[in-house]
A = this chain, B = another copy of it.
């Protein structure tokens, strides 16, 4: 059945899988010390505009979040995140497993409000008992957020200011970074984003790779012996090439951005289909995830035609469902969606 369930339903983008096949029999050193990883690192440094950025490849998003957060926090620190942040709710407690608390803030459409952030951190230090509490050591946001929304450049800079004022690191989860940067609403470039934050990752899994995320430390701040910490957390790939080759392909001929743009174009068409049908949008998302509200009867009808994903129960009779486009969305998919919408 045609599926809009997620942006990880297909394998790898054709240019990525082709590179894996082409380079397959070459013999290279393990653990990320091969020439493909080196080349990918170089291309990413160029793309982010920071010649001495440290770039490290990891396998998946939750793993990356747990490793970045746990190696960059001090013992007495936790990480601030939106209640809807991936680290707060959908990682099975992976951050807490590393011994650090996620300090959850109220959110709006998946975003932390800089004002609320400032109030929280200011309040923390004003509290005379704060030595008995978890110190805020990092701010985690997703770009785009889990709700498909985007922070403006101003918001990002304001968050960065607060972080630096209070000695916190600023970490951006870019699991879907390309879909954010290529959004028509985005007002920040990859290079600007890299400058603003302290560390971020360029998502591969949801952007055309079989697996893989590229962490970028932008301020000469990679934790000492980071490879050892990766190994200690069971995340070091023997065949590091698997990640190097893929990211090398993604950052060749702007593939990463082409993938982003393509999915955004599909998402905009999808929005029009929903609008034409008069469906209620749950969130006004400018990226590749679109959320609509359906009464459960119509949802069940639609479920027979096409795959999408459950987001949340809105009330007794209504459900929020999610449709996701990606590099793998086809014309055929779009037509099937249009037809499916026709019968509900």
Contact = CB atoms under 8 A, between A and B. Distances in A.
B8 A30 contact: yes
Interface residues of A, number: 85
A25 B8 contact: no
Contact of A20 (B10, B11, B132): B11
Contacts of A26: 10-11
A312 B127 contact: yes
Which of A11, A59, A242 counts the most chain B CB atoms within 10 A? Answer: A11
Given A11-B24, A24-B11, A126-B313, A92 B237 contact: no
Contacts of A239: 8, 11, 205, 210-211
Interface string A267-302: 000000000000000000000000000000000000
Contacts of A193: none
Contacts of A8: 30, 238-239
A75 interface: yes
Interface in A237-260: 237-239, 241-242
Contacts of A129: 90, 310
Given A97-B99, A234-B62, A132 B91 contact: yes
Contacts of A23: 11
A9 B24 contact: no
A221 interface: no
Interface in A98-138: 99-102, 104, 123, 126-129, 131-135
Interface string A128-169: 110111110000000000000000000000000000000000
Contacts of A60: 234-238
A70 to B, nearest CB: 8
Interface in A198-212: 205-206, 210-211
A131 to B, nearest CB: 6
Nearest to A229: B75
Contacts of A238: 6, 8, 60-61, 205-206, 211
A196 interface: no
B132 A76 contact: no
A29 interface: yes
Interface string A29-68: 1100000000000000000000000000001111111110
What are the 3 tightest A-B residue pairs by CB atom distance, in nearest-first order?
A: A63-B234, A11-B24, A92-B231
11 contacts: A76-B92, A76-B229, A91-B132, A93-B99, A93-B232, A96-B96, A97-B232, A132-B228, A205-B238, A211-B242, A234-B235
Given A65-B234, A66-B234, 18 more contacts: A5-B29, A8-B30, A9-B29, A10-B26, A11-B20, A11-B23, A17-B21, A59-B237, A60-B234, A60-B235, A61-B238, A75-B232, A90-B129, A91-B132, A92-B228, A96-B101, A129-B310, A131-B228
